[in-house]
Structure 1
Amino acid sequence: MDDTTTASSLQTADVSSLGLAIAATAVCSGDITSEAYTAALLQRARALAELNAFITIDEAEVLAAARAADKLRAAGSTAPLLGMPLGVKDSYLTKGLPTSLGIESLAHFVPREDADAVRAIKEAGALIFGKNNLVEMSYGLTGHNARYGQVKNPHARDHMSGGSSSGSAAAVAAGLVPASLGGDTVGSIRVPASFCGVVGFKPTTGRWPRDGVAPISHTLDTTGAFARSVEDCILLDQVMTGEQAVVQPTNGGNGLKGARLAFAPRQFLDLVDPEIETRFREVVRRLQDAGAEIVEVDLGDDFNALVQTATWGIFAHETMGAISEFLRRQDIPTTFEAIYEGLKPQLRQAWGHIVLPGGAGATSAEAYHTALDVSRPEIQRRLNRAFVSHGALVILQPTTPCTAPLIEEQTTVHIARQEVSYLALANHTVSASSVGLPGISLPVGLSRAGLPIGLELDASLGSDRTLLALARKIEGVFGTGPIAI
């Protein structure tokens, strides 16, 4: 079943496969109740608990909230997310519900207030289904958490989900919730979306509220979402921003006629598995056949090195200050030093090397300001060549250079028959993050091993509505909805 399911069949259908928009419409129209929908998802979450997608689910509370939503509907409410149970990454503060940030010492910390983004979805009628598992302090790409367990990929339990928003992606992919909030600093939404075969949307940095979400870097952090379709991301974007996007219905291939799309093979096909490159080139051909105009661009020999050095330097340099300020402002009962001491050994070693000011790999103040004031403007200038000089609406690339690696590959992974650092999983997503561009990952098929492959679209700053409208049309070329498991 996909999002074309008719309302009349909802009572007997497997509601876990419904997308957010169609489920919200069904509850609003009375075709299903929020209580019945939520109860079905709770049953599925219990059955798939081995995925480790959630740290906390308060079943009694979420069912009570669903019943309350049904009463509001009966009283005439037409809130856009009325009765929708959504997942929330456990880096978001949630009033009355534990928020661990993925670490042992905060396992029982219960915030007094919601993060702004959580408040926004609640005001739109949504209920918090549970708090999704994540990499400790959102610092990692594999989905491993020493305290709460490795998040497993719903498509293959021995493969990683990606991170850091690991549980959010897995929960949507497995049909435990129709959508979930995540966070993205260098790829923490788009990498797991690619690995798990769902849509992952990173808005322009600063477009969605992020107060009340544990930070890494105030320059790079953004909140965002996982969903079953682009339409669902459009709905969430409207809720978060208050903007009413005007999106034309998908019209098969005709919807792409004249759309100019860029890709940079020298930069984004440099280190990718052969199967990923083959599929990507097939995708480009299909988009061209659907009417899109494809233009090849070159961002420069040193583009990848420039992006990597600048972005990871900013990322690490801002972490200590960002976390310390967050803990203080939100009155969270711990300190940066206590968090550092409690990290799993590998992560503590990494923080000691790049995050602590005296670390051997720490970014100096001079290098940090060079990254902000020299490198970032240069990266933006080169990307603008594609958007302005070439007139491209988006830059296309494989979201990740490989499909989801085996869980046992935590420190190093194999890409194109080379053993490289797991940080290479973000090689493609980091470019949009470096200057705050909006980006979205769409599922575009499966590998021979049955693992999802993602396509990333990056657009110019602030053009989120254009990106979402185009992504919806491209989604129509490849079929709507997530990859079934």
Structure 2
Amino acid sequence: MNDTTATLSHRAPQEVVDLPSLGLAAAAAAIRKGEITSEAYTSALLLRARTLAELNTFITIDEAVVLTAARDADKARAAGSTVPLLGVPLGVKDSYLTKGLPTSLGLDSLAHFVPHRDADAVRAIKDAGAFVFGKNNLVEMSYGLTGHNARYGQVKNPHARGRVSGGSSSGSAASVAAGLVPASLGGDTVGSIRVPASFCGVVGFKPTTGRWPRNGVAPISHTLDTTGAFARSVEDCVLLDHVVTGEQAAEISGHDLKGVRLAFAPRQFLELVDSEVETRFLEVVRRLQDAGAEIVEVDLGNDFNVLVQTATWGIFAHETMGAISEFLRRHDIPTTFEAIYDGLKPQLRQAWGHIVLPGGAGATSVEAYQSALNVSRPEIQRRLDTAFVARGAQAILQPTTPCTAPLIEEQATVHIAGQDVSYLALANHTVSASSVGMPGISLPVGSSRADLPIGLELDAPLGSDRTLLVLARRVEGILGYKSTAI
């Protein structure tokens, strides 16, 4: 919490001790029915946030403002309001503009910048009756996968304080896992929702690129950026998808997977995976088969991983400078790209100098960028259609991350399957959906011997978000693994 956080004038009543365990839909229903008040629920979350402040999940929480919003919600309910998220506080990644609340983008230089308007997705949850509990910690400019921030501190994994949370939406994932909020908005360019969801043992939903509004959210790449969410169940993601898009909520039905065809590509997605993660993944595949799913193996080609990595990271880096510069101008943010670059932590400044600045030794040329967009991406989609079209699969399965959460002190170079590799390998599986904009969701499906969460990713064809959510809910029910707050 920031230094200006106010102190609660009263303690949460005894009967609210279990309130932090409520999921989003359950909390919203309880407030709507008058079973609990928003003020009591919010007070319990504030108390828990103070107790677990060492996790560094939030940059800013203004307790006085949050309590006022809760009391206003209780008055609105008494007056007859029935909006779907009335009185529920949500976390919001600090890359989203929030009216009247500081938005740092993870930078020291913007610690006191207060926007005059909300990002579109924030406005959508507010229109549905929710309010912002606080701004979640993140990697500077959302450029990283482990959760380290030089100014605001490392976000710690709620399951093991010495482990990373994943990133860049680090605080969003960890705050949901720790029971500080029932859900949080995050962002995903190559895996920044799904990687931390996997490491923290929560559900992380990346919609089809462009399905959720991105206006007012600090960008990396206009081709790849996606807003999305963390929650403790697929049901809660369904509710958020309904609120943000305005589309009718997907109807969850069915308790088995009869008639469902799922694909997996062992040569591509089990190439560099820890043995515990691979064993758990194959167990999950067998359980889904036992529940009636038809599992088909596909081969996406010897060069698939190289093709995806080269094209996606090239687009990612090439678009960063222009995307950020335009965002700063459009939203009157009091800094420049050059000032941001100069103020980055040394490791990140070095990376930007190498791949983001046009003169960098690793920068993507205009020709290579156009080839990635116009040649590589269509070819990646053609390969994926091997599963979706030729084999009729509703989703492709894979381990979300190739390992469980690495140790904080070993986050620059991580150990996977007996090899020391760059931390960028943490996105080896998530990057394929990002490359062409497909929807993807990470579900917690068990734990390692060290009691660290393991995630399962389901990726689906473009625009099939509601079908994916229905399928994910059925898979969640069959596996029976629920993300739990500590």
TM class, shorter-length: over 0.9
CA-CA distance at 1:479 after TM superposition: 1.6
- Where do 4+ consecutive residues of structure 1 move more than 4 Å? 10-13
CA-CA distance at 1:81 after TM superposition: 0.5
CA contact 2:16–2:41 (8 Å) conserved in 1 = no
CA contact 1:151–1:167 (8 Å) conserved in 2 = yes
CA-CA distance at 1:417 after TM superposition: 1.1
Match of 2:400 in 1: 399
Residue 214 (structure 1) aligned with residue 206 (structure 2): no
CA-CA distance at 1:328 after TM superposition: 0.3
Residue 166 (structure 1) aligned with residue 167 (structure 2): no
Q: Distance in 2 between matches of 1:188 and 1:441?
A: 11
SS in 1 for 2:410: coil
CA contact 1:35–1:70 (8 Å) conserved in 2 = yes
Match of 2:420 in 1: 419
CA-CA distance at 1:385 after TM superposition: 1.3
Task: Spell out, residue by residue over 1:430-480, the C-alpha distance to the aligned partner (whole angstroms, 9 max, x if none).
Answer: 000000000000000000001000000000000000000000000001225
Match of 1:87 in 2: 91
Match of 2:79 in 1: 75
Match of 1:328 in 2: 329
Q: Within 5 Å, give how 1:263-278 maps onto structure 2.
A: 263-278=264-279
Structure 1 counterpart of 2:286, one-letter code = R
Q: Distance in 1 between matches of 2:302 and 2:346?
A: 36
Residue 14 (structure 1) aligned with residue 18 (structure 2): yes
CA contact 1:203–1:222 (8 Å) conserved in 2 = yes
Residue 23 (structure 1) aligned with residue 24 (structure 2): no
CA contact 1:452–1:483 (8 Å) conserved in 2 = no
Q: Within 5 Å, give how 1:34-53 maps onto structure 2.
A: 34-53=38-57
Q: Distance in 1 between matches of 2:198 and 2:80?
A: 39
Structure 1 counterpart of 2:314, one-letter code = G
**Pick from 120, 131, 142: which aligns with 1:138?**
142
SS in 1 for 2:408: coil
CA-CA distance at 1:348 after TM superposition: 0.1
Q: Distance in 2 between matches of 1:379 and 1:419?
A: 28
Q: Distance in 2 between matches of 1:159 and 1:287?
A: 30
Count of residue pairs the alignment pairs up:
473
Match of 1:240 in 2: 244
Residue 12 to residue 118, structure 1, CA distance change in 2 (3 Å): closer
TM-score calculated relative to the size of structure 2: 0.96
Structure 1 counterpart of 2:201, one-letter code = G
Q: Distance in 2 between matches of 1:256 and 1:12?
A: 38
Residue 226 (structure 1) aligned with residue 227 (structure 2): no
Task: Spell out, residue by residue over 1:335-386, the C-alpha distance to the aligned partner (whole angstroms, 9 max, x if none).
Answer: 0000000000000000000000000000000000000000000000110110
Match of 1:284 in 2: 285
Task: Spell out, residue by residue over 1:151-177, the C-alpha distance to the aligned partner (whole angstroms, 9 max, x if none).
Answer: 000000000000000000000000000
Q: Distance in 1 between matches of 2:463 and 2:52?
A: 38
Structure 2 counterpart of 1:127, one-letter code = F
TM-score calculated relative to the size of structure 1: 0.97
Q: Distance in 2 between matches of 1:236 and 1:36?
A: 22
CA contact 1:143–1:150 (8 Å) conserved in 2 = yes
CA contact 1:53–1:170 (8 Å) conserved in 2 = yes
SS in 2 for 1:313: helix
Let me know the Cα RMSD of the aligned residues: 1.0
Residue 419 to residue 480, structure 1, CA distance change in 2 (3 Å): closer
Structure 2 counterpart of 1:123, one-letter code = D
CA contact 1:250–1:472 (8 Å) conserved in 2 = no
Residue 55 (structure 1) aligned with residue 90 (structure 2): no
Task: Spell out, residue by residue over 1:312-340, the C-alpha distance to the aligned partner (whole angstroms, 9 max, x if none).
Answer: 00000000000000000000000000000
SS in 1 for 2:409: coil
CA contact 1:21–1:231 (8 Å) conserved in 2 = yes
Structure 2, unmatched stretches of 5+, are: 1-13
Q: Distance in 1 between matches of 2:379 and 2:17?
A: 52
Q: Distance in 1 between matches of 2:253 and 2:160?
A: 34
CA contact 1:173–1:198 (8 Å) conserved in 2 = yes
Match of 2:101 in 1: 97
Residue 314 (structure 1) aligned with residue 315 (structure 2): yes
CA-CA distance at 1:250 after TM superposition: 5.0
Structure 2 counterpart of 1:104, one-letter code = D
Structure 2 counterpart of 1:106, one-letter code = L
CA-CA distance at 1:13 after TM superposition: 5.5
SS in 2 for 1:180: strand
Structure 1, unmatched stretches of 5+, are: 1-9
Match of 2:430 in 1: 429
CA contact 2:100–2:115 (8 Å) conserved in 1 = yes
Match of 1:387 in 2: 388
Residue 115 (structure 1) aligned with residue 119 (structure 2): yes
CA contact 1:11–1:32 (8 Å) conserved in 2 = no
Structure 1 counterpart of 2:413, one-letter code = T
CA-CA distance at 1:483 after TM superposition: 3.6
SS in 1 for 2:187: strand
Q: Within 5 Å, give how 1:173-184 maps onto structure 2.
A: 173-184=177-188
CA contact 1:81–1:126 (8 Å) conserved in 2 = yes
Task: Spell out, residue by residue over 1:75-100, the C-alpha distance to the aligned partner (whole angstroms, 9 max, x if none).
Answer: 11110110010000000000000000
CA-CA distance at 1:12 after TM superposition: 5.4
